[in-house]
Structure 1
Amino acid sequence: MALVGTLHHQAAVERLRSSYAAIAPEDPVRLAKKTSNLFRQRAASVGPGLDVSGLGGVISIDPVAQTADVQGMCTYENLVAETLKLGFIPYVVPQLRTITLGGAVTGLGIESTSFRNGLPHESVLEMDVFTGAGEVVTCAPTGEHADLYATFPNSYGSLGYATRLRIKLEKVPAYAALRHVRFHETDKLSAAIAEITESGEWQGERVDGLDGVAFEPGEYYLTLARWTAEREAEPSDYTGMDIYFRSIQEKQTDLLTVHDYLWRWDTDWFWCSGAFGAQNPTLRRFWPRRWKRSDAYMKLLALDLRFGIADKLDKRAGRPERERVIQDIEVPVERLGEFLDWFDDEIGMRPVWLCPLRASRDWPSYPLVPEKTYVNAGFWGTVHVGPDRVNAPKNRAVEAKVHELDGHKSLYSDSFYDRDTFDQLYDGRNLAAVKKRYDPDDRFISLYEKAVARR
């Protein structure tokens, strides 16, 4: 995919404006977009949506300034394809190929560089946001629209949609050398995370990427990535028969191209491809490579939800009904052990993905303490709970525990907070004030209505 250029971008923004004008004032405003990385149900779309069809590319790259101007609907797969040609990557590249840059900023994203680079919005220098007033506003950390810039992360389209973002890029060599370090106790795991986050090193060796997996109680791994220009071994390929997450338990060291490192989790949707048989050696041998990617599994999941396939199989086998527990949460690093112990007792789902992060400043809609180390825990699956699944007992328990541990929960999946708690956690007062300024007629659905009421 070639760079789209400024003229193409301007034409696409005008189409967006026109599509917005065609939506009746009483109708909800949504993107006319077929794919999504959200896991919460939404009300069925009514009428036309916002035309963002021309906003999926990279406008320009400045290798001297190490920046890129990128359209809001550009997927990270397309963005990385362009930046790697020049030896750069975005500061943070979320794990799944079809996550868009605008989506990662307005809906949060995270990956192994977040322990030193924060979340994707921290490397945004400025952005153009299409607001509820039908205007494109350029906002930056300072200036007239600094309130929109600060509040936009974790607003999920309730304040507008990013049409252009200028982001910082990081220079990288060709390879990522990995070390998989095992820990048996959570206190030592947490101490190692804190040390690496503070120093950027482990045992005297630089760490450029840091994430981990909790496989079982007493079996925890941190994967330490180091950018290198040296081909220190034959690079591994996890797009064929080999499976990346299993290699963590099997190898102490590994080497990937930077490209393959960035998408190491996408091929098997972390470990979730197993639900579709893609990890069965016999099936995997014939599973097309083009279908070994997260968006293909998302389509299979949508079919399952539409026709209730798993529910019917459970009923036939006499198994209790399942509750989907698909969440990403953050807790302070010193409380990670408490959370994992509780999670084992109350939820009992493994593996759990671990990803440390730090925020460089306060972001009102997702207020983490600046320069404090948190650990994201990601867990995605189902738990047999029986008829009580309609009340989502496990998800509600996760919310309560994370709140108790001074953490936060991402809003891409089901949420059940009451309004007062939600406003306390996500600074509802500030969200309402900024929304009133940039969406005076209340055209866009509020964050609470999107995340909890599922409008």
Structure 2
Amino acid sequence: MRFSAGSSSFGAWRPCQATPIAFYTGRFSTEDHSRAVDGISASVRRFYERKEKFRIFHGSTNSTRHAAKGNRMVDSSSLSHVLKVDMERKTATVEPNVPMDRLVEETLKYGLVPSVVMEFPARFKHGFFNRTFNSVEMVLANGDVVTCPEKEKSDLFHGAAGACGTMGVTTLVELQLREAKKYVETTYHPVSSMTEAIKKIEEVTADPNLDYVDGVLYSKHQGAIVTGRLTDIPGASVPIQRFSDSKQ
């Protein structure tokens, strides 16, 4: 693959229309969520009282073992809904099994997008995805349900990320959103060595006008650093590349 120096293109989000309401609540209500969490809490408490080990089934697994349901299993796989998008506070209240594409699809309806989207690397600005959380709801090992804001229960808040259920069963998060734009302008910067790639990354991550930075090396002597910025106005001479079968 060849790149010309500083070559650019535009990737288009799905078009969105802002609405006058302050927040969005889906068909799965907060009451439905509370009932589901009560069931998980009761299951965990029974295992705790019997001093029995259990595994968590959430529909997918980090383990190489087969994640089959059984008698010693706490099932959280139904927690897969976006409960609310708050346009005023720019936050989303989301259950833990919501796929990223569905989360983005929901928030774009209200002119917002998560601060960190996995396919658009913005960690140099906002940190890892969990650093965009305001709070985490979880079921502890004794069955208690707690909500953990960063400043009030910081040990649980920070410990929940990547703990694979050892700190508790995560059941809900509130995460930060940002204003979406119609396009992401991407620029490909060719590099010919690891040293050049590192230098270019240090340069572009210091640019406050950029929103995304990614990079790939195809060999020892060929690669590219890719930068992106959100914009509503595409350049006249820059081609627009659309994704997700968007026709608009």
TM beyond 0.5: yes
Q: 1:85 to 1:193 in 2, by over 3 A?
A: same
Quote the Cα distance in structure 1 between the aligned partners of 2:149 and 2:164: 18
Q: For residue 56 of structure 2, what is the amino acid of its counterpart?
A: L
Quote the Cα distance in structure 2 between the aligned partners of 1:165 and 1:80: 15
* Aligned partners of 2:215 and 2:223 also within 8 Å: yes
Equivalent residues in 2 for 1:49-448 (5 A)?
49-95=73-119, 112-143=121-152, 145-200=153-208, 206-232=209-235, 235-237=240-242
Q: Deviations over 1:217-265 (max 9, x none)?
A: 111211111111124455325679xxxxxxxxxxxxxxxx8xxxxxxxx
Deviation of 1:70 (Å): 1.1
* Aligned partners of 1:5 and 1:59 also within 8 Å: yes
Q: Is 1:42–2:65 an aligned residue pair?
A: yes
Between 1 and 2, higher relative CO (CA 8 Å, sep ≥ 6) is seen in: 2
* Aligned partners of 1:2 and 1:82 also within 8 Å: no
Unaligned runs of 5+ in 1: 96-110, 201-205, 241-256, 258-455
Q: TM-score, normalised by structure 1?
A: 0.44
Q: Deviations over 1:180-201 (max 9, x none)?
A: 111012222111111222233x
Identity %, equivalent residues? 22
- Root-mean-square deviation (CA, aligned residues, Å) is 2.5
Q: Deviations over 1:70-89 (max 9, x none)?
A: 11222222211110111111
Q: Indicate which of 39, 57, 61 corresponds to 1:15.
A: 39
Quote the Cα distance in structure 2 between the aligned partners of 1:126 and 1:239: 31
Give the 3-state SS of the residue equivalent to 2:205 in structure 1. helix
Q: For residue 186 of structure 1, what is the amino acid of its counterpart?
A: M
Quote the Cα distance in structure 2 between the aligned partners of 1:183 and 1:14: 54
* Aligned partners of 1:175 and 1:227 also within 8 Å: yes
Quote the Cα distance in structure 2 between the aligned partners of 1:162 and 1:61: 19
Give the 3-state SS of the residue equivalent to 1:214 in structure 2. strand
Deviation of 1:47 (Å): 2.3
Q: For residue 12 of structure 1, what is the amino acid of its counterpart?
A: A
Give the 3-state SS of the residue equivalent to 2:75 in structure 1. coil
Quote the Cα distance in structure 1 between the aligned partners of 2:27 and 2:176: 17
Q: For residue 124 of structure 1, what is the amino acid of its counterpart?
A: F
Quote the Cα distance in structure 1 between the aligned partners of 2:210 and 2:111: 19
